[in-house]
Amino acid sequence: MKTLSLFNLDAVDQLIQPTDFTETSLNSPALSVLSDFKHNQPTMIEGNTSATQALQMMQLEHCQLKLVVDADERMLGLIHIEQLSEQALLRQVIQGNSRDEIKVRDLMRPRERIKALAYQQLQNCTIADVVNTLQSNGEAFCLVVDRDNHQIRGVIHAQELARRLHMPLAIRQQPTFLRIFDSLTA
């Protein structure tokens, strides 16, 4: 039996993740940037969690996006860390809600307003196709659904795409009456 030598970490030793081993380009397969729930546990939060607690949790976890679920883990919507901002909380307070009573479900994007791509369609697409679709639709993220099995299979997030591509991605949200009204009342 061998005794191995232990040594101290050097200051230049960097933490890596699986995505650091693959070179990603706009011509790479679209599925290479899918956070696939078949292989990765989805990040979830219960809709009844307080908004301030959710913000702290997401900041500690360095998490930008979580699936919002009920007590039975049925998906209710999505919450992005920006939806938990001080400005979003103040809007709720102005509407008469107590700050301590604001829940994730009050700020999330509900299930019926979430955009999705078909997993089957992504099998023949490139990252460039996904980027173009997100930019054209003003969406910073979208779910991926296996339409044959009716399963929410994963998520694609523009911020993760930008990180993997080592380039900025500008996603401009489509102006809607609600967004214009929100910006005027903010």
DSSP state, residue 174 = P
pLDDT, tens only, 34-46: 999 999 999 999 9
Q: What is the pLDDT of residues 62-97, one digit of tens each?
A: 999 999 999 999 999 999 999 999 999 999 999 998
Q: Tell me what pLDDT residue 142 has.
A: 94
Residue corresponding to tokens 């700050």: 99
Backbone angles phi, psi at 170, to 5 degrees: -90, 120
- Predicted local confidence at residue 23, as pLDDT: 83
Q: In this predicted structure, what is the pLDDT of residue 177?
A: 53
The mean pLDDT value of the chain amounts to 89
Query: Exposed, middle or buried: residue 75 (CB in 10 Å: 0-12, 13-18, 19+)?
Result: middle
- Element (H or E) spanning 90, and its range? helix 86-94
What percent of the chain is predicted at pLDDT more than 70?
90
| Structural contact between residues 30 and 122, judged by C-beta atoms closer than 8 angstroms | yes
Please enumerate in sequence order all residues whose Cβ is within 8 A of that of 38, keeping only pairs 6 or more positions apart, or say none: 153, 154
Confidence of residue 19 (pLDDT cuts 50, 70, 90): low
CATH topology assigned to domain 27-185 = CBS-domain (3.10.580)
Break the chain into its structural domains and give their ranges: 27-185
Report how far residue 37's alpha carbon sits from residue 75's, in angstroms, rounded to the nearest whole number. 13
Taking only the tens place, the pLDDT of each residue in 154-169 is 999 998 899 888 888 8
